[in-house]
């Protein structure tokens, strides 16, 4: 699982990412907002435009300082073949672990009456796509197929492997999970995202292949996608559930 990448590579990528982020923030202060420009288009177009910007901000620095420098392949980012049964067992274990940890935290919060600002429900992405066939198909492709692959390549394939090469595994895992949670820019759900990041790290560490974390990430997103879709068409389900509690 040793990587050719070094911490200096991460610092360069991180610094360039911040520069691009600030650059686009400044640009959009002086031009009409993307929402106004794309207002006449399908909601999916606006979302994909924003997603493309995020892709450029994250992956152009990675390409410039890492991919081009080392002439990398997917194998250099930890994508190696693992028996499918081993992957499925690890994914099942990770999802069970995620449910158990979430249940324990919810039970403690319920018993103590505490409210954590960072432990709220994650905002659904489906309204950003729209609920027609174009929106749902686009959402399925982005949320379940594209996003898990790209995010795992960046966070587990690059950052986690550099961090655990630089520091002890436990510290590298915590820092990677923290960056993973922060990059989603949803502070109200930073704790669940942090926990998810830790489990994604574990999924990779367990098999030594980023494919495992990709499949777990995709599976987790698919469950959330299906629940969001079900609740959209059956809003009475939540009302009935709340009446029981």
Burial of 84 (0-12, 13-18, 19+ CB in 10 A): exposed
pLDDT at 243: 60
Phi, psi of 212 (to 5 degrees): -65, -45
Asked if 186 contacts 193 with a C-beta cutoff of 8 angstroms, the reply is: yes
Going by C-alpha positions, the residue among 45, 5, 17, 4 that lies closest to residue 179 is 17
Measured between its terminal Cα atoms, the distance across the chain in Å is: 47
Provide the residue-wise pLDDT of the chain in tens; the chain has 245 residues: 678 999 999 999 999 999 999 998 888 777 766 556 766 778 888 889 889 999 999 999 999 999 999 999 999 999 999 999 999 999 999 999 999 999 999 899 888 888 777 777 777 888 888 888 999 999 999 999 999 999 999 999 999 999 999 999 999 999 999 999 999 888 888 999 999 999 999 999 999 999 999 999 999 999 999 999 998 887 776 666 556 55
pLDDT in tens, 46-69: 889 889 999 999 999 999 999 999
- Residue 120 vs residues 5, 102, 192, 193: alpha-carbon distances, Å: 36, 12, 8, 10
Report residue 160 as tokens.
């986690």
Q: What is the largest CA-CA distance in the chain?
A: 58
Domain residue extents for the chain:
72-244
């Amino acid at each position: 699982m040793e990587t050719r990448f070094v911490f200096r590579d991460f610092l360069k990528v991180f610094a360039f990412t911040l520069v691009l982020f600030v650059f686009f923030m400044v640009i959009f202060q002086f031009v009409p907002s993307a929402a106004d420009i794309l207002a006449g288009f399908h909601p999916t177009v606006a979302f994909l435009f924003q997603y493309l910007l995020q892709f450029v901000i994250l992956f152009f620095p990675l390409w410039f300082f890492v991919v081009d420098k080392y002439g990398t392949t997917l194998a250099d980012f930890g994508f190696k073949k693992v028996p499918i049964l081993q992957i499925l067992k690890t994914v099942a274990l990770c999802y069970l672990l995620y449910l158990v940890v979430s249940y324990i935290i919810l039970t403690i919060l319920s018993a103590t009456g505490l409210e954590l600002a960072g432990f709220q429900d994650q905002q659904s992405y489906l309204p950003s796509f729209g609920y027609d066939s174009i929106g749902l198909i686009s959402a399925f492709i982005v949320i379940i197929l594209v996003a898990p692959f790209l995010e795992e390549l960046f966070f587990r394939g690059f950052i986690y492997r550099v961090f655990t090469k630089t520091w002890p595994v436990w510290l590298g895992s915590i820092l990677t999970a923290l960056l993973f949670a922060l990059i989603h820019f949803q502070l109200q759900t930073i704790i669940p995202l942090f926990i998810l990041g830790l489990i994604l790290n574990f999924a990779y560490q367990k098999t030594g292949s980023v494919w495992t974390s990709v499949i777990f990430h995709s599976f987790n997103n698919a469950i959330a996608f299906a629940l969001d879709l079900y609740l959209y068409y059956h809003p009475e389900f939540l009302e009935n559930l709340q009446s029981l509690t």
